[in-house]
Amino acid sequence: MRSPNLVKCVPTQSKGSIAVSIAVSKVASTAVLLTLLASMLVISLGCGGATSGGPDGSSASSGGAEAARAPEATRDGLIKVAMDGSGDLFLRPDHGIGGYDAIVIAPAFVTYRRTSARLDPDDEEVYLVSLEQALLDEANSIGVPIEYEIGECVIKIGIGFLNVDLAKSAAAEVLGEMILVIEYQDSLSGESLLRLMVPKTILRESGGMTRAEHVSASFDRMIDEVNITNALRSATATPSKPRPGCEGRLVNAGLPSGAN
């Protein structure tokens, strides 16, 4: 089980070099609450679909991410909307994301299908910390303010690999399938505001790499491709009024410099 301490990441200059410092929050209750909220995020993803199984409405026995078909709406009230880029984007009609001021990053997560092979625990931890780092770097790159405590004006962003299904056979052509999920929640209530689901597939490639090398390279590539800009722009295309006591700083996040 991962530590409930807040993971504070710093922007890095080169690929593959992750500078991470694990800092114990001076307010222990905030750290514990973030961990509980991360657990709630996993639960909500498991319950968000239109049918039993994954949040995308796929059956648990329907296969991997490639076979998943997202519904038009989820059981927790999110509606599918158009978005530039890959994946399926779901928004709460009254999400008000632009009315918030900052984000807080929850601990990343991974869930497996029952028949899946498992990642090495050390590798899994590296991937999860790398996901958190990728969120932070992406947020910094588009000017999204970062907080380390929840609050009235703060959105909690969670990220993780859902329904990971890794092949146990080294000879398999499809070595793995999963869904990369990014979710925005109100940091106080835990209500889901936005959910981006991107199916991912790990295929065997030429080049003489081993199964482990294929899987490692694919996870590195998926982490490098983490993108919150397109989803955020879609969510804030219609301006939101600032929340009470907030400035509404996220309304312009991700827009080109000088844009209103």
Per the structure, the count of domains in the chain is: 1
Whole-model pTM: value is: 0.74
Q: Of the candidates 165, 199, 195, 201, which has an alpha carbon nearest to the alpha carbon of residue 179?
A: 199
DSSP 8-state secondary structure symbol assigned to residue 185: E
User: How high is the pLDDT of residue 7?
Assistant: 40
Residue-range definition of the domain harbouring residue 205:
7-252
Q: Of the candidates 231, 239, 242, which has an alpha carbon nearest to the alpha carbon of residue 259?
A: 239
Residue 1 lies in a domain: no
User: How high is the pLDDT of residue 255?
Assistant: 54
Residue 260 lies in a domain: no
Tokens of 223: 């982490």
**Contacts of residue 255, Cβ cutoff 8 Å, sequence gap at least 6:** 233
Residue 83 lies in a domain: yes
Distance CA 251, CA 164 (A): 34
Residue 120 lies in a domain: yes
Digit-by-digit pLDDT tens for the chain (260 residues) are 444 333 444 444 333 333 333 232 333 333 444 444 444 455 455 544 432 233 333 333 334 444 455 678 889 999 999 888 788 999 999 999 999 999 999 999 999 999 999 999 999 999 999 999 999 999 998 889 999 999 999 999 999 999 999 999 888 899 999 999 999 999 999 999 999 999 999 998 777 788 889 899 999 999 999 988 888 888 888 778 889 999 999 987 755 544 54
Instruction: Specify whether the CB–CB gap between 209 and 187 falls below 8 A.
Output: no
Distance CA 217, CA 176 (A): 12
**Contacts of residue 226, Cβ cutoff 8 Å, sequence gap at least 6:** 131, 134, 135, 138, 159, 180, 182
Residue 172 lies in a domain: yes
Residue 130 lies in a domain: yes
DSSP 8-state secondary structure symbol assigned to residue 65: G
Q: Of the candidates 122, 230, 215, 208, which has an alpha carbon nearest to the alpha carbon of residue 174?
A: 215
User: How high is the pLDDT of residue 158?
Assistant: 95
User: How high is the pLDDT of residue 228?
Assistant: 87
Distance CA 218, CA 200 (A): 9
User: How high is the pLDDT of residue 204?
Assistant: 86
Residue 259 lies in a domain: no
